[in-house]
Amino acid sequence: MNQQDLRVIKTKKNIEQSFLRLLEKRSFSEITVQNILDEALINRSTFYKHYSDKYDLARLLSNRMFQEFQLMLENRFNASQNREVYETIDMIYEVLYDKREAFLNLWKIHTDEVNLENEMADYLKHRFIAAYSSGFIGNATQMDYLSGTYAALTMSSLKWCLNHDYDTVREVVPPFVRNILLAMQEFQQSGEEGQQTKQDL
């Protein structure tokens, strides 16, 4: 990596961190490119060399965070044993805490172009259906309700956790996660048993 590449990386990081700091103080609709320039101490040409506007900047950051979340969620659903699941969820919270500023501030943006919170909730719902629809003895409406409830509960949990210190989260969340995982395991097993009963009949 040459010096020019390092300068570009540092410049973009400065712009992105400046933008996230601004989101702590004001709404996305109130933020202008000039605000970002002032916060990052750069000129307009430097900003437009990397981003077409504030929406482009927000979209790129949101896409990056969503891809990280997507990878974490796949690791969670691919974990087969309860102990492995617990360890995976613990790892997820560690990563989320490392990126908490980005997640908390980007969740504030709700536009047609950028809506990380809804995108994550939609993916949670989709992933739940993919994981638990096999053998499910209920109908599509019931699955829609269950997957939507799971997505809403998970997003609420993530928000609560990132708004509290890590020690508090480690003390409070694991017992509830274990109970939820056990309930979901029983739910999946009951669905498989119900499917087997249908086949026997």
pLDDT digits (tens, 9 = 90+) for 36-86: 999 999 999 999 999 999 999 999 999 999 999 998 888 777 765 555 666
Tell me how far apart the alpha carbons of residues 177 and 30 are, in angstroms, rounded to a whole number: 38
Residue 36 Rama label (left phi>0; alpha psi -120 to 50; beta)? alpha
What is the pTM for the complete model shown? 0.80
- % of the chain exceeding 90 in pLDDT: 49
Between CA 191 and CA 20 the distance in angstroms is 44
pLDDT of 114-156, one tens digit each? 999 999 999 999 998 988 887 777 888 999 998 999 899 889 9
Contact 73, 155 (CB under 8 A): no
